């Protein structure tokens, strides 16, 4: 996997000699199509951790049977271009993958402080309690086939889809994360 590593000499910020990734993408969730089967969550946690666990999934689907409107919601990292999570990391444990453009967490460096979560507009990063490190979607950067949640979703292309894009994360992204 090609990585853009933080340069500790530059105050821990991700510094790269090459140009930024030519493709950046994100996973979009459409609650109108989601049937809350949770295949995406199960496959994500199996692909990343080898175990089916909602707590270890990088995508989360919620169904609130007491809501008349917007009963289904999903949460996944939008891979913001400005990535406030990267800026907030005190140990430079976050970097942008050069191939996918995804913001990735280096488990060897992460101390589990969760400052990344506190600055995320959608509070996406979550704590992997056993290892005491933050986890979030990395667009399956180490898999050639792309995000496993999208590939395995029974309604792939409708409930979940991968969207290559350029530009900053902003107000138009708010519906995509919630």
Q: How many CB atoms lie within 10 A of CB 112?
A: 15
Domain assignment present for residue 112? The answer is: yes
pLDDT reported for residue 160: 96
* Structural domain boundaries, residue 151: 3-163
Domain assignment present for residue 173? The answer is: no
Cα separation of 89 and 59, whole Å?
Answer: 21
pLDDT reported for residue 16: 35
Q: Per residue of the chain (178 residues), what is the pLDDT tens digit?
A: 444 444 332 344 443 333 344 457 899 999 999 999 999 999 999 999 999 999 999 999 999 999 988 899 999 999 998 999 999 999 999 999 988 899 999 999 999 999 999 999 999 999 999 999 999 999 998 888 889 999 999 998 899 999 886 554 544 444 444 4
24 neighbors 166 (Cβ within 8 angstroms) = yes
pLDDT reported for residue 145: 84
Burial class from Cβ neighbours inside 10 Å (0-12, 13-18, 19+) for residue 5 reads middle
Domain assignment present for residue 176? The answer is: no
pLDDT reported for residue 169: 52
Identify the sign of the CA torsion 108, 5, 98, 89: positive
pLDDT reported for residue 99: 83
On the CB side of 168, how many CA atoms lie within 13 Å of its CA? 5
Domain assignment present for residue 33? The answer is: yes
pLDDT reported for residue 143: 87
| Domain count for the chain | 1
pLDDT reported for residue 84: 97
Domain assignment present for residue 123? The answer is: yes
pLDDT reported for residue 165: 64
pLDDT reported for residue 144: 84
CATH number of 27's domain: 3.30.70.20
Domain assignment present for residue 170? The answer is: no
Domain assignment present for residue 149? The answer is: yes
Residues 6+ apart with CB under 8 A from 163: 25, 26, 27, 28
pLDDT reported for residue 61: 96
Domain assignment present for residue 168? The answer is: no
SS (H, E, C) 123-155: CCCEEECCCCEEECCCCCCCCCCCCHHHHHCCC
């Amino acid at each position: 996997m090609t990585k853009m590593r933080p340069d500790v000499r530059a105050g821990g910020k991700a510094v790269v000699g090459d140009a930024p990734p030519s493709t950046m993408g994100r996973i979009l969730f459409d609650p109108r199509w989601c049937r809350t089967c949770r295949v995406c969550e199960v496959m994500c946690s199996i692909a990343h951790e080898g175990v089916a666990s909602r707590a270890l999934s990088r995508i989360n689907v919620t169904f609130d049977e007491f809501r008349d409107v917007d009963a289904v919601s999903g949460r996944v990292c939008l891979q913001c271009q400005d990535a406030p999570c990267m800026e907030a990391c005190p140990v430079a444990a976050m970097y942008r993958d050069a191939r996918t453009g995804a913001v990735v967490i280096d488990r060897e460096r992460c101390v589990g402080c969760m400052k990344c979560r506190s600055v995320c507009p959608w509070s996406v990063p979550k704590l992997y309690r056993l290892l005491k490190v933050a986890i979030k979607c990395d667009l399956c950067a180490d898999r050639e086939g792309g995000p496993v949640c999208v590939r395995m979703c029974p309604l792939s292309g409708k409930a979940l889809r991968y969207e290559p894009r350029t530009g900053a994360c902003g107000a138009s992204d708010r519906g995509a994360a919630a």
